[in-house]
Amino acid sequence: PMEAEAETRLLLQEARESIEAARSYRRELQQRLRGLQQARKQIKESATLTRDVLEQHFNDLKGTLKKLLDERLVSLLQEVDTIEQESIKPLDECQKLIEHGVSTADDLLREGESAVHGDVGQENEKLCSFTKKALHIQLDSLPEVPSLVDVPCLSAQLDDCLLTILKNQIFRHGTVASRPPVQLEEFVEKPGGILVRWCKVDDDFVPQDYRLQYRKSTASHFEDVYVGSETEFIVLHIDPNVDYQFRVCARGDGRQEWSPWSVPQIGHTTLVPHEWTTGLEGYSLSSRRNIALRNDSQSCGVLYSKAPTYFCGQTLTFRQVLTGLLLIETVGQPDRRDSLGVCVEQQNGYDSLQRDKAVCISTNGAVFVNGKEMTNQLPAVTSGSTVTFDMEAVQLGPSSTEGGNFKLRVTISSNNREVVFDWVLDQCCGSLYFGCSFSYPGWKVLVF
């Protein structure tokens, strides 16, 4: 009985495992079925859209071609009218002259016949008057009439090769692609943005430029967000927890037309955007509060972020721009106390991030960790420079040798150079503030 009971339990266990495997198998099949349905839907919808595009395009071509032919016909008919009018005008003038001469000759004939057959007493007077008039009219002068070979003979020259050229061009016009040459590859969440990456999937296609578009899922039209040769782009001003649709296409080397669009994909970010805190007198902020401009106020201090929105594992980027006018003036010079960096907490009363619980880079390229200058130095920050901070937690828990219990591996990059060091803190920090300080006006900082 015990063996039978054990065998029954084993069979029940195997049966339950088979049932669970069958459920899992059914779920996988259902998921693949949904994938097939989506694939079928994509094929059907893209085929319908392609038909509509082709029909609309060729209808537009036919309309445009008819318009161009009509315009050319009108132009040629006007040319015929012009030649006809210009050629007929001198003939009309000559005809009027001849008709006038015929009328004059008729009158002269009647007068001459009347003078010849008139009364004897008046014969000499009439004959004398007629003779004088005949001499005055110059009966030996006749207007010149052009011969037929000297006047225009209009005709139309129509070369049938146009039809051959059009036929060859039309038969080569347009192609149907089964898949786009580029596809979206990856979406990486950024604070208030999304890093979009794409790749080429057609080995025979040689791209020259890429074109990235996006739209909110509730919007009806896509808009351009990037055109260039790079294969990734950070799309900023993205609302958190909102779906956006992206698509990309490419332009072949030496071509003017764009390739078909990639399959649209959904991307979103759950990270709130980086923002500078408001209210500090020495800085003016943009409407989205991600750009800070050091104004000409005499007030100084550190401008911090609104909240600790920088998390370990992210990349924090400062893009700096010196306003050209103030750079020309001497008041825009860098100062050794200038700083760009991150810190554990906001501490008022300091004029720089070169202090404890902060890491930063000065505008002259010096790197400071907890207020101490490192031996390694980066290039000076100038107009158009980009400074990035990357941090990774490398040690948790107590550490008697380092004197702290939390360590961050920090990488600061600027102008294609970087420094890497460990930042030891006495507390665990999951999120950090960022900040900046400048002694002179003219510095503008974009953070993302």
- Residue 330 pLDDT grade (very low, low, confident, very high; cuts 50, 70, 90): very low
Long-range contact pairs involving 345-352 (C-beta distance under 8 Å, separation at least 24):
345/433, 346/304, 346/433, 346/435, 347/302, 348/301, 348/302, 350/301, 350/302, 350/437, 351/300, 351/301, 351/302, 351/437, 351/439, 352/302, 352/437
| Domains of the chain, start order | 16-172 (no CATH), 182-267 (2.60.40.10), 283-447 (2.60.120.920)
Residue 423 and residue 273 in contact, taking contact as beta carbons nearer than 8 Å: no
Tell me the mean pLDDT in the region 280-301: 88
Residue 323 and residue 296 in contact, taking contact as beta carbons nearer than 8 Å: no
Q: Which of 103-112, 200-209, 295-304, 356-365 is predicted with the least confidence, judged by mean pLDDT? A: 103-112
Task: Give the pLDDT of residue 138.
Answer: 67
Q: Which of 107-111, 169-173, 232-236, 285-289 is predicted with the least confidence, judged by mean pLDDT? A: 107-111
pLDDT digits over 431-442, tens only?
899 999 998 888
Average pLDDT, the chain: 85
Name the token pair of 224: 């351009």
Pairing of strands 443-447, 315-322: antiparallel
pLDDT digits over 68-106, tens only?
999 999 999 999 999 999 888 888 888 888 888 888 788
Name the token pair of 171: 């038969």
pLDDT digits over 101-113, tens only?
888 788 778 777 7
Name the token pair of 154: 């209009």
pLDDT digits over 232-246, tens only?
999 988 999 999 999
Task: Give the pLDDT of residue 368.
Answer: 95
Task: Give the pLDDT of residue 227.
Answer: 95
- Residue 327 pLDDT grade (very low, low, confident, very high; cuts 50, 70, 90): very low
The answer for residues whose C-beta is within 8 angstroms of residue 89's C-beta and 6 or more apart is none
DSSP conformation letters of 251-300: EETT--SPPPPPPPEEE---SPPP-BPS--TTEEE-TTS-EEEE-S-S--
Task: Give the pLDDT of residue 397.
Answer: 52
pLDDT digits over 377-433, tens only?
999 888 778 899 988 888 655 544 444 568 888 999 988 899 999 988 887 877 899
Residues 194, 247: Cα–Cα separation, whole Å: 13
Q: Which of 89-93, 97-101, 186-190, 275-279 is predicted with the least confidence, judged by mean pLDDT? A: 97-101
> Which one is predicted more confidently, 130 or 181?
181
Q: Is the pLDDT of residue 122 over 70?
A: no
